[in-house]
Every structure is written in C-alpha cells, then in structure tokens.
Amino acid sequence: VFARTVICRDLDVATRVARTDGLDCRTVMKGGMTGGFYDHRRSKLKFMSIIMQNTKSINIKEEELQKLEQLKHDIANANKQKQFISKALENKEKSLADVRNQIDQLNAGMVMKPAEMGTELITLKEKLITCRTDRIELETNLTTNLQRRKQELEAIISSVDSDTLHGEDELKRQELNNAKSLAEVTTLELKRVSDKIDTLKEELKEKFF
C-alpha cells in the first residue's frame, strides 16, 4: 500500500478492491485503475479531533454514570435508614402509649386511694376501740374479781385458828395459788392488749398523719 494506492496481482483483484474499498489499484502490468469515492475534506487531523471529542464525551458519560450509581447507592442507604428510623419511632410511640397507660392507672389509683385509706382508717379505729374495750374489761375483771378474791383468801388464812388452818390450809393455799395464776394470766393478756393498742396507734400515725 502506498498512500491510497495498492498493487494487485491481476485486474480482477484490482477491480474488486477498488469497488469495495474505494482505493486506487495498480497491477503488475502497465496501467492503473481507480474507483470509489474519496472525500479529501476529511483529513486525519479531523478524524483525530472527532475521536478525541468522542473520547471526552465517553469519559463525561462514564463520570455521570458513576455519579448516578453513587446516587442510587445513597438513595438505598437513605431508604434503609428511613426504615430503621420508622421502626425506632414505632417502638418509641408504643413505649409512650405504655407510659400514658401507667400514668392513667396511677391517676386512677390516686383517686381511689383516699376511699381505700378511709376504709382502712375506719377498720383500724374499730380495732383500736375493740382493743380498748377488751383492756377495760380485763382491768375491771382483774380489779373487781381477782384482786378481791385474793384479798379474801389472804384474810381467811390470817383469821382462822391453828387447828382450823391445819385442816383447810392446803385447800385454801391451792385456791390462793390458782387465783394468783389467774391474775398473772389476766395481767399478761392485759399487757398484750395494751401492746396491740400501741401498735395500732403507731400504724394510724404512720399512715394518716
């Protein structure tokens, strides 16, 4: 090939090349053959310029494509973050609803508490009155009955003579001991009731004062 001229072995080959490729053909024989169309306005520099422009355009498109892919990636991450935030918000709303229910329950309890406290106060006061009544009864019983019986027995023992005392001594002493034991039991019961009264007073003081 010399510039746009080729050498062919015969005329048939030269004719085919000239038609298909648009080149000047020469055979080893004398003479030449030309064919096709050649635009002299299209120089190599112009083609190189077009190639460079196309290459630049391709590079720009590739950069835009990379930016687009990055944007898609950012959108996907944003969607994931949105789902995460939505889930967290849903959990927070549920927790808020639970807290509101607890507040409502506490408010309801605060409304009912005075009534319950009033009922409990009445019950404690009734117990206190009962214990005080029991204490008065025990004190009366101890004072009017046991102590008097004890004094009577001691007087009998002191007033009888020796012979009579010898016969009835054991019986009277047994009655006296029984009376003393009963007095001690009654005294202990009285102390128990008094302690219970003190406990009820403290309970009333702690809860309502």
Q: Can you read off the two tokens belonging to residue 54?
A: 């196309």
- 150-156 contact pairs (CB < 8 A, 24+): 150/176, 150/179, 150/180, 150/183, 153/179
What value does the mean pLDDT take over residues 66-88? 87
What value does the mean pLDDT take over residues 164-183? 65
Q: Can you read off the two tokens belonging to residue 180?
A: 């003393």
What value does the mean pLDDT take over residues 39-53? 70
The reported pLDDT for the residue numbered 135 is 73
What value does the mean pLDDT take over residues 181-193? 74
The reported pLDDT for the residue numbered 101 is 82
Phi (first) and psi of residue 49, to 5 degrees: -65, -45
What value does the mean pLDDT take over residues 171-195? 72
The reported pLDDT for the residue numbered 33 is 45
Q: Is residue 174 part of a domain?
A: yes
One domain, residues 92 and 177: yes
- Top-ranked range on mean pLDDT: pick from 4-18, 101-115, 142-156, 171-185: 4-18
Q: Is residue 59 part of a domain?
A: no
One domain, residues 182 and 127: yes
Residues 6+ apart with CB under 8 A from 141: 186
The reported pLDDT for the residue numbered 118 is 62
Residue bearing tokens 């202990």: 188
| Position 108 confidence tier, pLDDT thresholds 50, 70, 90 | confident
What does pLDDT average to over the chain?
73
One-letter amino acid identity for 108? Answer: A
Q: How far is CA 55 from CA 46, 52, 63, 65, 68, in A?
A: 14, 5, 12, 15, 20
39 has pLDDT over 60: no
Q: How far apart are the first and last CA of the chain?
A: 122
The reported pLDDT for the residue numbered 66 is 92
167 has pLDDT over 50: yes
47 has pLDDT over 60: yes
81 has pLDDT over 60: yes
One domain, residues 123 and 170: yes
Give the domain range for residue 27: 1-38
pTM: 0.31
Q: Is residue 125 part of a domain?
A: yes
Higher pLDDT, 58 or 156: 58
Q: Mind listing the pLDDT tens digit for each residue in 120-154? A: 667 777 777 777 777 777 777 766 766 676 666 66
Q: Is residue 47 part of a domain?
A: no
The three-state DSSP-derived secondary structure of the chain is: CECCEEEECCHHHHHHHHHHHCCEEEECCCCEECCCCCCCCCCHHHHHHHHHHHHHHHHHHHHHHHHHHHHHHHHHHHHHHHHHHHHHHHHHHHHHHHHHHHHHHHHHHHHHHHHHHHHHHHHHHHHHHHHHHHHHHHHHHHHHHHHHHHHHHHHHHHHCCHHHHHHHHHHHHHHHHHHHHHHHHHHHHHHHHHHHHHHHHHHHHHHHC
The reported pLDDT for the residue numbered 32 is 45
Q: Is residue 50 part of a domain?
A: no
The reported pLDDT for the residue numbered 30 is 58
Q: Is residue 122 part of a domain?
A: yes
Tell me how many domains the chain contains: 2
